[in-house]
Chain A
Amino acid sequence: MKKLDINMKKTLIILSLAGVIFFAQTKTAQAQCNTDGFTEQCLSSLESGFTFLKSFKVDGQGGSKDKVEFSYVFSKDTEYYINICTGSSSVDGIKVTLYDSNRKMVGTNFANGKFFGAVKYPCSATGIYYITFTFEGSSNHCGGSVLGFKR
């Protein structure tokens, strides 16, 4: 009877620990990529004169995704603005690249050996464009971005 009680106690402890660990891990996972907060940051830094179009959640899922891609129809004679926010002044290695409908590169935020927090793209060719976010030496693989336009 005494042995049974000891085994039951061990079972209790193991089950309790399992519940706590599982719960804690899940909460940690949820806290990992705060894209909503970063897109809000990007919204507030949208350059004056540009009208908001949409926001992008750049979630590299801790490094398991090496690319996050969106697409949109850009119109000629319209200037577009894309920025990247990570909660700090740097873009944390998040590179945004624009490709046209034929997957030809038409723009990026990485130039002259450095990353830029925002790019302006005065479009002269209407079409579907792919907005691709990749991670170049990123620590958190997490950010937000907004797209705006002006004529």
Chain B
Amino acid sequence: MKKLIFIVCIFGIVACESNKKIDDEKAFLDSLESVTLNQPEISQEVISDIIQQIPSPLEISFLIKESGNSYNNELLNSPDNISNYNSNYHKALNLGIYGADLGYTNIYNQNQDAIFYLDAIKELANGLSIGQFFDFGTIKRLATNSQNMDSLLLISTQNFNNINTYLQEQNRSNLSILLLTGGWIEALHILCQVAEEKNSEQLKEKIGEQKIILDNIKLLLEFYREADPNINKFYDQVMQLDAIYSQININHVYAEPTFEEVNGMLVIKDNSTTTIDITDEDVAKIKATTAMIREQIIK
């Protein structure tokens, strides 16, 4: 009888334990080569709220293509540079950069280059123990056919989103921040190179708009700079860019929106406006400083 009671108690304990997530990942993560960071005092929820605001580099890539610019892979970070990236810091930043490059190659239907970038992404992601979030087989298959661009972009974006969610859940938001910042720096770099060539007001305005995202990136890096000397150094470089952007004004005028129903869909008419005060001199300085920061990351 005592044995039976013991068994039932065990059953009760197992029923409780079945609800806990079995965290195989924890032991795995503990074995990773990484600096153990003290977590910032600000809550993970606040950090995630700021991180989620950073837009996808795809939006800039689409704008660049729309501006009539031809594909130019010399603007991108060569996949051959991957052998330079040995620390988690460099891997995370360049994973973001290669992610932006992959989006650029996909939009231009450059299938062969896309595969090179996929291979680089796979290597870096595996190095950070997040390779399981990439469906490389499916992505490669889709990349071989230019008709699959929509699906390709969808899966790539989903994979990167899942990685960022996972890193934040695992208290590795520092890597998520580096990944997103790497993607942003690469998109800004490509944008600056093309804007100068095209002398396009729309592209210049887009450069000016990046002030909003830079404010978030600055804040995120600030949370980790004390604990991580690499992030601290990177923060100082980003502040050089911030000094230039402090001269740029974004003027927002709110106006009540209107809406109409079109084919069963609600279409909102945004009557608010923003104007961006940015000069050619500002663009030149941003271009040079972004290139300098990027060079430090990719070399």
Q: Residue B8 contacts which of A15, A76, A78 (CB distance < 8 angstroms)?
A: A15
Apart from A53-B58, A76-B209, what 10 extra A-B contacts exist at CB < 8 Å?
Answer: A51-B62, A71-B49, A71-B53, A102-B254, A106-B257, A120-B265, A120-B267, A125-B270, A126-B276, A127-B250
Q: A8-B1, A151-B63 are in contact. Are A120 and B157 (CB under 8 A)?
A: no
Which residues of A118-151 have CB atoms within 8 Å of chain B's CB atoms? 118-128, 149, 151
Q: Is the CB of A122 within 8 A of B53?
A: no
Task: Give 24 pairs: A residue, B residue, CB < 8 Å, sorted on A.
Answer: A8-B5, A15-B9, A16-B8, A43-B154, A52-B158, A53-B58, A54-B157, A72-B53, A72-B55, A73-B55, A75-B55, A107-B257, A107-B259, A107-B270, A112-B261, A116-B261, A116-B266, A120-B265, A120-B266, A120-B268, A122-B268, A126-B212, A126-B274, A126-B276
Q: Is the CB of B154 within 8 A of A52?
A: yes
B54 at the interface (CB under 8 A from A): yes
CB-CB nearest 7 A-B residue pairs: A107-B268, A125-B272, A116-B266, A19-B12, A23-B15, A125-B274, A19-B15
A66 at the interface (CB under 8 A from B): no
Interface string of B196-228 (1 = CB under 8 A from A): 000000100110010011001000000000000
Instruction: Give A71 to B97 CA distance when docked, in angstroms.
Output: 23
Q: A12-B4, A22-B16 are in contact. Are A127 and B212 (CB under 8 A)?
A: yes
Q: Is the CB of B150 within 8 A of A124?
A: no
A5 to chain B, nearest CB (A): 7
Instruction: Give A145 to B244 CA distance when docked, in angstroms.
Output: 37
B11 at the interface (CB under 8 A from A): yes
In the bound complex, residues from chain A placing their C-beta under 8 Å from that of B213 are 73
B289 at the interface (CB under 8 A from A): no
In the bound complex, residues from chain A placing their C-beta under 8 Å from that of B56 are 53-54
Q: Is the CB of A52 within 8 A of B54?
A: no
Q: Is the CB of B12 within 8 A of A128?
A: no
B211 to chain A, nearest CB (A): 9
A55 at the interface (CB under 8 A from B): yes
In the bound complex, residues from chain A placing their C-beta under 8 Å from that of B269 are 122
Q: Residue A121 contacts which of B49, B264, B270, B276 (CB distance < 8 angstroms)?
A: B270
Residues of A within 8 A of B (CB): 5, 8, 11-12, 15-16, 18-20, 22-23, 26, 43, 47, 51-55, 70-73, 75-78, 98, 100-102, 104-107, 109, 111-112, 116, 118-128, 149, 151
Q: Is the CB of B1 within 8 A of A22?
A: no
B23 at the interface (CB under 8 A from A): no
Q: Is the CB of B157 within 8 A of A52?
A: yes
A69 to chain B, nearest CB (A): 9
Instruction: Give A38 to B274 CA distance when docked, in angstroms.
Output: 35
Q: Is the CB of A12 within 8 A of B272?
A: no
A71 to chain B, nearest CB (A): 5
Q: A19-B8, A23-B15, A124-B271 are in contact. Are A118 and B59 (CB under 8 A)?
A: no
In the bound complex, residues from chain A placing their C-beta under 8 Å from that of B257 are 105-107
A61 to chain B, nearest CB (A): 15
Instruction: Give A13 to B257 CA distance when docked, in angstroms.
Output: 64
A45 to chain B, nearest CB (A): 12
Interface string of B15-41 (1 = CB under 8 A from A): 110110000000000000000000000
Q: A116-B265, A118-B265, A125-B273 are in contact. Are A16 and B53 (CB under 8 A)?
A: no
